[in-house]
Amino acid sequence: MQEEAIHTSPPTRALIIAAGRGIRLNEHSQEIPKCLISVGERSIIETILLTLQRAGIEEIVIVTGYKHEVIEELLGGGQKLGLRLRYVFNPEWQKRNGVSAYAARECFAPNEQFLLMMSDHLFSPDMLAKLMAAPLAAGEIVLAVDPKVSAIFDIDDAMKVVYEGEHIRSIGKTLTTYNGIDCGLFKCTTGLFDALAAAMVEGDCSLSDGCAQLIAAGKMKSVEIGEAFWIDIDTPEALAFAMERLNV
């Protein structure tokens, strides 16, 4: 029997993966985590946090790893941003990002809805609003998908998606045929953690491995972002492009 959609208010909590080192954006990566590199007057992660706060998110779990103490010192408890911040340290931060996401599993109640994002992806408020309003059933996750594949800044490095309507059929960087791009922004239930557990091989997995588990179970959906702006800041060129688009 198909599970009914969860009819509750939008999520009020989010999970940010901020454990990696960011070697490709290497001008500062020896000194600070990538998420603390400035985009205008604020760091990447502070910009993300303010966007979440303005959308009604109240508490954010941040998974840290590389130079975690620098992130915690800068952001503190989140009071200056009108948020509550909680930190989870992943001692295995050099493994793939699914391990960092899984490290936060005990922070969320069964079937709780929450947002998930990377600490190096910037996104506009209208994109976030579309995702927060997407319906979600128990055990499912919803991914923000950009159908404007010809406008992607670094298409070679992008995570490609094949989707039909709201259903995602496949996901991966090496797909040769695709009709959307993974924006790195999810609305989840704790079914995500079950999928990551199933995807673990020798204690390691990526988020896309967990997504493959959910796709196989018919529990991964998409929401198109329309004309909303987003960017994965993974290289100096992407950083320069983001600053140009944001006029900072």
All structural domains of the chain: 13-246 (3.90.550.10)
Is the pLDDT at 146 greater than 90? The verdict is yes
Is the pLDDT at 7 greater than 50? The verdict is no
CA distance 157 to 173: 7
Lowest-confidence pick of 21-30, 108-117, 175-184, 232-241? 21-30
Q: Cβ(183)–Cβ(146) under 8 Å?
A: yes
Q: What pTM was estimated for this model as a whole?
A: 0.94
Q: Cβ(16)–Cβ(119) under 8 Å?
A: yes
What 3-state class would DSSP assign to 244?
Answer: helix
* Kind plus residue range of the DSSP H or E element containing 185: strand 180-188
CA distance 121 to 41: 17
Is the pLDDT at 163 greater than 60? The verdict is yes
Q: Which amino acid, 227?
A: E
Residue 1 has what pLDDT? 41
Residue 248 has what pLDDT? 54
Confidence of residue 5 (pLDDT cuts 50, 70, 90): low
Residue 10 has what pLDDT? 83
The pair phi, psi for residue 24, each rounded to 5°, is -65, -30
Tokens 């909303």 locate to 228
Confidence of residue 24 (pLDDT cuts 50, 70, 90): low
What 3-state class would DSSP assign to 148?
Answer: coil
Is the pLDDT at 131 greater than 60? The verdict is yes
Residue 9 has what pLDDT? 67
